[in-house]
Amino acid sequence: MRPITSTLNFVDALRIILEAARPIARIETLLLLEADGRVVAREIVATGDVPPFDRAAMDGYAVIASETTSASASSPRTLRCVDHVFSGHMPRRGLGPGECMEIATGAPMPPGADAVVMVEETTRNGDVVRIAAAVTPRQNVGRRAADLAAGDAIVSPGQVLNPSRIGALAATGVTRVDVFSKPTVALLSTGDEIVQPGVALAPGQIYDINRFTLETIVTRHGGHAMAMGTVGDTIEALVERLDQARDEDIVIFSGGSSVGDRDLILDILERRGELLFRGIAVKPGKPTIFARLGQTPFFGMPGYPASCLSNAYMLVVPFLRKMARLPAWEPRTIDLPLARRVVSASGRHQFYTVRVANGRAEPAFKASGDITSMANADGFIEIPADVDIVEADSVVTVKFF
Amino acid sequence: MRPITSTLNFVDALRIILEAARPIARIETLLLLEADGRVVAREIVATGDVPPFDRAAMDGYAVIASETTSASASSPRTLRCVDHVFSGHMPRRGLGPGECMEIATGAPMPPGADAVVMVEETTRNGDVVRIAAAVTPRQNVGRRAADLAAGDAIVSPGQVLNPSRIGALAATGVTRVDVFSKPTVALLSTGDEIVQPGVALAPGQIYDINRFTLETIVTRHGGHAMAMGTVGDTIEALVERLDQARDEDIVIFSGGSSVGDRDLILDILERRGELLFRGIAVKPGKPTIFARLGQTPFFGMPGYPASCLSNAYMLVVPFLRKMARLPAWEPRTIDLPLARRVVSASGRHQFYTVRVANGRAEPAFKASGDITSMANADGFIEIPADVDIVEADSVVTVKFF
């Protein structure tokens, strides 16, 4: 057995991990509506003006503004309505002196007109329209290219697409967008005791949990999870699966990072890769490995499901988001008084789960081996390594899952 | 033309909308890994204990705790190692007096043993193991059912699935989960000027933006968008599409809620449904309709893309999330000084877009018709109807998109 005799502090572990993250360079082309949340890889510029013509910004009457200067409610200006123009159609004629044209919001302005009087400021009787308010040139007119001019950058590399940016791309007729590919993440659960849900357990066996928590969190944070099932505790099996897995951008094993003599991962990593750290001063999640196999980053996560998932939040998520070129995760937070005193592990950065109830943060952590330590919690607080006790009623910052 | 002569205030509009939202009752069964973010429809209880046996919580030696009471570093207790037990296997024998058994984390405890001494507290020479620390009964033992006991509720109706809850379900061998179906949302863009991206624009035409912004935001907030394309401005076309659309849980038209004489939606709604409001005191987004067609809620969104999308954030998202049984949207927020004075529309609740730059919130809003009012912003501030001016350097709460 090879005990973990020293641990790296959390801040250094995170620094080493982030330094090893190489943002993805591969690019793929997606249909616009498939691209929400994805990271733009190439600038897209407007190929035309938006809108492509001057248009009415209100329903009302297109006028020559200078003809309305004296108009008021008590002394309206009378104009003759010579036609109408609907949206989607071009005006059939222009305006001359004393004329106006009924116009719908979004319709192209007729030649000669330079303003729109809102319908609310008018009364009409047959062709005769009374204008009860003056308008200035360009008033209530949406000018050609006001939204986007041909050549304007709509999105730039590194921007994350969202509803409004997808709308701006649609505005210029864009149907496809080049985005950075998602990092692929090989997920393997090691351990002879691990069985996939769907089959009956034999004595001594348990169901795989980490594959499910890891796949879900990887998917949430911009990765493409490639579940590779379970692998037994033999050198041959581990080496074979590791060789398959290293074609992906990131490899995550869970289990096999403990200190038992069947914990062979470490031997393999030392022989075939570069071990960057093993054992970190966090709780839960101490027996965590980070290594490189050639250029492929490797996480050896603890087998215990609460440890595995909490280190996924603390270490894998920042790493993955940097690889995926996504901004750092910013969980929703709330500051609340702690319902009960918490005694923290001395010298270890603690990820401590809590439930929010009655306006307080109630400790929810049970044990590293219990997934219900997290499933029955709403989020977590972090307790730095140099803090041993957090008293009841201390205000803590809860980060929601 | 039928001008909007009075407007409903924002708070009342939101109240009317939320009162009309009927949470979805349909249930569907999903594979566990497809269910992240979905709302649990039926309680799932553990069918067995997790873990299903007492197990070692550390690598080390399974012992009879009472035999270690006097053990210390200076005076170790010597035990004879009679076997080993790996995870995934059952112990081949039990322990008697003076005996211990090498055990790996997660392996079943041998009969007779009631505690595990960590490997770090031991030295070994052949079969002889020196125990340098006392353990108490159950120390370093994960007890059967400590995580979940058969019959325990794992998830309850209304809970939103997340990585840890999916992990807890996997822990008991669950492979499928019943969740509430997503509300289906029919999306239609009205207006003769609206063309789908991918074809060339004729004079007077513009590309559809709202279909893209709405589909994206509906998908983000738990809806199943059913894009139904564009529909021209004739009674016959509108009635036909409306009749198709009302099979969905929610119908959203964009455009056609303005006051032009081609704005026929209103006539149709009054004839075939119940108009709940038309015109709200918000900016942008005043010409918004909310109605019921039989039991189907109907949103008539403004055609202007910034108006349409901002009202989607303000009205559709709360409605949709209630229909989908999701908790209210809580955007990430930051409090920042406003970079420039903003004059707000008197008497209208304003959704005002801003960029975050240099630690300040910079106004980003251009005009209701400009999607870049939102695409070039990071988020928005809300200015209540009774506030007309927000001075430079006032601290505002920016809500991120």
List the CATH number of the domain containing B158.
3.90.105.10
* B154/A401 Cβ within 8 A: no
Question: CA separation (Å) from A182 to A164, A213, A218, B80, B305?
Answer: 22, 19, 10, 53, 30
B347 plus B230 within the same structural domain:
no
Question: Nearest CB to B172: which of A59, A86, A207?
Answer: A207
Give the mean model confidence (pLDDT) for residues A194-207.
94
Domain boundary among A323, A354, A388: A323
In a domain, B342, yes or no: yes
Contact, A101 vs A82, CB < 8 A? yes
Domain boundary among A323, A352, A380: A323
Which has the closest alpha carbon to A260: A348, A306, A191? Answer: A191
B290 plus B366 within the same structural domain:
no
Separation CA B104–CA A190 (nearest Å): 14
Domain boundary among B142, B169, B197: B142
H-run or E-run covering B145: none
- The count of domains in chain A is 4
Average per-residue pLDDT for chain A: 94
Which has the closest alpha carbon to A85: A117, A110, A113? Answer: A110
* B167/A209 Cβ within 8 A: yes
A153 plus A42 within the same structural domain:
yes
> Which chain A residues are Cβ-neighbours of B148 within 8 angstroms?
372
B206 plus B244 within the same structural domain:
yes
Looking at A246-356, list the stretches that DSSP marks H as alpha helix, in order from N- to C-terminal side.
Answer: 265-272, 305-311, 317-323
Instruction: Please determine, for residue A394, whether its predicted confidence score (pLDDT) is greater than 50.
Output: yes
**Per-residue pLDDT tens for A127-174?**
999 999 999 999 999 999 999 999 999 999 999 999 999 999 999 999
In a domain, A84, yes or no: yes
Question: CA separation (Å) from A40 to A13, A159, A166?
Answer: 30, 5, 11
Per-residue pLDDT of chain B (401 residues; tens, 9 = 90+): 566 778 899 999 999 999 999 999 999 999 999 999 999 999 999 999 999 999 998 889 999 999 999 999 999 999 999 999 988 899 999 999 999 999 988 899 999 999 999 999 999 999 999 999 999 999 999 999 999 999 999 999 999 999 999 999 999 999 999 999 999 999 999 888 899 999 999 999 999 999 999 999 999 999 999 999 998 878 888 899 999 999 999 999 998 645 554 467 888 888 889 999 999 999 999 989 999 999 999 999 998 999 999 999 999 999 999 999 999 999 999 999 999 999 988 899 999 999 999 999 999 999 888 999 999 999 999 999 999 999 999 999 999 99
Which has the closest alpha carbon to A108: A146, A50, A53, A171? Answer: A53
DSSP structure string for B284-315: S--S-EEEEETTEEEEEE-SSHHHHHHHIIII
A91 plus A230 within the same structural domain:
no
> Which chain A residues are Cβ-neighbours of B164 within 8 angstroms?
213, 309, 371, 374-375, 377, 401
Question: Nearest CB to B147: which of A104, A197, A369?
Answer: A369
* A107/B193 Cβ within 8 A: yes
A246 plus A340 within the same structural domain:
no
Selected residue of B33, B122, B139, B147 to mutate for chain A interface (largest A Cβ count, 10 A): B147
Question: CA separation (Å) from A340 to A38, A85, A202, A337, A377?
Answer: 41, 70, 40, 9, 15
The nearest alpha carbon in chain B to A109 belongs to B204
Q: How far apart are the first and last CA of chain A?
A: 36
In a domain, B4, yes or no: no
> Which chain A residues are Cβ-neighbours of B193 within 8 angstroms?
87-89, 106-107
Q: Vertex A242, ends A215 and A179: CA angle to 5°?
A: 50
Q: Vertex A197, ends A195 and A203: CA angle to 5°?
A: 45
B233 plus B317 within the same structural domain:
yes
* A194/B48 Cβ within 8 A: no
Q: What is the domain extent for residue B345?
A: 333-400
Selected residue of B159, B216, B265, B333 to mutate for chain A interface (largest A Cβ count, 10 A): B216
Q: Which residues touch B401 (CB under 8 Å, ≥6 apart)? A: A162, A163, A164, B313, B331, B374, B377, B378, B379, B380
| pLDDT at residue B235, as a whole number | 84
Looking at A77-224, list the stretches that DSSP marks H as alpha helix, in order from N- to C-terminal side.
Answer: 163-171, 210-220
* B104/A258 Cβ within 8 A: yes
DSSP structure string for B103-119: E-TTPBPPTT--EEEEG
Q: Three-class SS of residue B83?
A: strand
Q: Tell me the one-letter amino acid at B300.
A: G
Q: What's A32's DSSP letter?
A: G
B258 plus B365 within the same structural domain:
no
State if pTM tops 0.90: yes
In a domain, A189, yes or no: yes
What ipTM did this prediction achieve?
A: 0.93
CA dihedral A294, A297, A303, A309 (to 10 degrees): -170
Residue with tokens 């901004």: A327
> Which chain A residues are Cβ-neighbours of B191 within 8 angstroms?
87-88, 106
- Which tokens sit at B162? 């997340």
Question: Nearest CB to B369: which of A57, A167, A193?
Answer: A57
* B147/A372 Cβ within 8 A: yes
